[in-house]
Amino acid sequence: MRHSFLVCILFMTCFSIQLSARDWSKSGSRQDYTKDPTDFWEATAAASECYTDAFSFPGKEINLQTPMGFDGTVSKNLNTFPRNSASKNCRVNVLSQYVPPPLVDAQIVSDYHGNTADRFQKFYDFLSINISDNRDFPNSKAEQRLIQFLTSWAGANALSENIRFSLMKEFRLDYHVQAMLPAMIIAFSDTSSHMTDEERLLVGKWLWRLVSQSQQSQFNVQDNKNYLRHYTALLWGILVGDDRLVDQARSAYLDALYFMRPDGSFPTEVARGGMGNQYQNTSVNVLVTMAAASRLIGENWMSLEVNGRSIDNAVEWVTKVNENPKLIRVYARNCPEGSFGSIDNPNLRYKESPPITGETETSWVEVYLEMSNRKNLASDLLSSLGWTPPKIALWSKTLGPQMCVFF
C-alpha cells in the first residue's frame, strides 16, 4: 500500500513539476457567497422572455485584468502545457492538411442567425485536428502546419477588422473570434519551442492582442460566453505566467457555481427557449474543461463547491433533460432572437453522436468520466446520451481537443 502511495505521489509530482513550480496565488472570489442569489433564480423563472430585465441581476462583468505585456522575456519563459497524452485521446481519423490563409476581415455582422459559424468551422476543425495529430505524432507535418497557420495569421495581423458583433461593437469581441482563442493558445504552446525567437515573439504579441480584447469584452456574469472568456484567461495565464488571470478564472468558476440553481440549472442558459438544453450543455462543456485545465497548476476544480453546489449538480441537470427534454418547460422562456427550435420542440443537436471529424459539443463527457468521483452519475450521463465515445479524439469547436490536451 505504501509503495503504491509513493508511486502515485511521484507520478503527480512529475506530471505537474513544470507548471506547479510557480507560486500560483489564490485570491478570494468577488462574490459574497453567504447570500444565495434567490432573487436572480426567481426573477429569471418568472420572466416573460429570455432577455428581460430580470436577467440583468448579476450584471455585466467588467473591469477584468488586462493581460501583462508579451515581450522577449515572456517569450523565452513560456510554461508550455505537458504533452503526455495517451495516444488514443489524440487519434484522428481525418486529416486537415490545407492551412487556411489569414482572415484579416472577420466580416462579423449584426445578424445573430447569420452564417458566421459555418465560415469559422473550417478554422475550428483545422486547429483541433492538427493539434491532435501533432500530439499523436510529435514533430510531424501537423506541427509545421500549425506553425505556418500561427505565423502567417500573426504576420498578417489576422482578425483585426470587423471582429465585433456590430450591435455590440463598443463592448464585445464576437463569439466566434473568442471561440478560436483556446485552440490557438494550445497550438502556440505545443509549437513554440520549434519556432524561431522572432516567430515566437510575433505570434505571442498577436495572441496577446486578441486575449486582451477578449478580457475587455463585457458579458453577463452567468453566461457561457463569459466562461469561455475566462477559460481563455486561464490558458493564457498559465502559459505566460500571469497568475492574476489564473486567479480571475478560478473566481469565475466559483461564481458559476454560486449563480447555478441547486438543481444544477444555469438560469440564463436554460431560459433560452428551444436552445435551453443546448446552452446548459455549452456552459457545462466550458466549466468541465476549465476543471481539466486546472490540473496544469496542480489543482482539481471539479471538487470545488459553493454552498454545497458543484459541477456535479450541473451534470445532473444535463442528464435529466437528456432523458426528458421537455423538462425545459420548467425554465425556458420565449426567445425569438436567441434560439433555434422551440420550447415544445427543443434543439438537441448537442446530443448527436460525433461525426467523422470527431467534433461534438458533448466532448466534455469524456473529460467528466475521467475526473468524476460520482461513478453512478457518470454512468447515467453516458446512458442519457444514447451513444458511447468512439475510439478517436473528440473535440469541441470552441475548446479544442480536451482529452488530448489534458489527459
pLDDT tens, position by position, 243-290: 999 999 999 999 999 999 999 999 999 999 999 999 999 999 999 999
C-alpha cell at 370: 475521467
Q: What is the mean pLDDT of residues 295-300?
A: 96
Where residue 57 falls among pLDDT bands split at 50, 70, 90?
A: confident
Provide the pLDDT for residue 166.
64
> What is the rounded CA–CA span in Å between residue 305 and residue 97?
43
Backbone angles phi, psi at 161, to 5 degrees: -125, 140
> What is the rounded CA–CA span in Å between residue 186 and residue 80?
9
Contacts of 217 (CB under 8 A, 6+ apart): 171, 172, 173, 178, 229
Provide the pLDDT for residue 218.
84
For the chain, domains (ranges, CATH) are: 25-406 (1.50.10.100)
Provide the pLDDT for residue 247.
96
Q: Note whether 146 and 187 are within 8 A (CB).
A: yes
> What is the rounded CA–CA span in Å between residue 322 and residue 9?
38
C-alpha cell at 88: 488514443
Backbone angles phi, psi at 84, to 5 degrees: -120, 30
pLDDT tens by residue, 341-355: 889 989 898 999 888
Q: Which amino acid is at 339?
A: S
Q: What is the mean pLDDT of residues 103-107?
A: 94
Taking the whole predicted model, whether its pTM rises above 0.85 is answered as yes
Q: What is the mean pLDDT of residues 71-79?
A: 97
**Collapsed DSSP state (helix, strand, coil) of residue 324:** coil
Q: Note whether 306 and 253 are within 8 A (CB).
A: no
Q: Give me the sign of the Cα torsion angle 398, 404, 405, 407.
A: positive
Q: What is the mean pLDDT of residues 44-72?
A: 87
DSSP string, 355-393: -TT-B-TTTHHHHHHHH-S-HHHHHHHHHHHTS---SS-
Q: Give 218: exposed, middle or buried? Use CB within 10 Å, 0-12, 13-18, 19+.
A: middle
Answer yes or no: is pLDDT of 128 > 80.
Answer: yes
Q: What percent of the chain has pLDDT over 70?
A: 90
H or E segment and range at residue 206: helix 197-216
Q: In terms of DSSP H, where are the helices of 21-137?
A: 38-46, 72-75, 87-90, 116-136
pLDDT tens by residue, 155-167: 999 999 989 876 6
| Bigger pLDDT: 356 vs 145 | 145
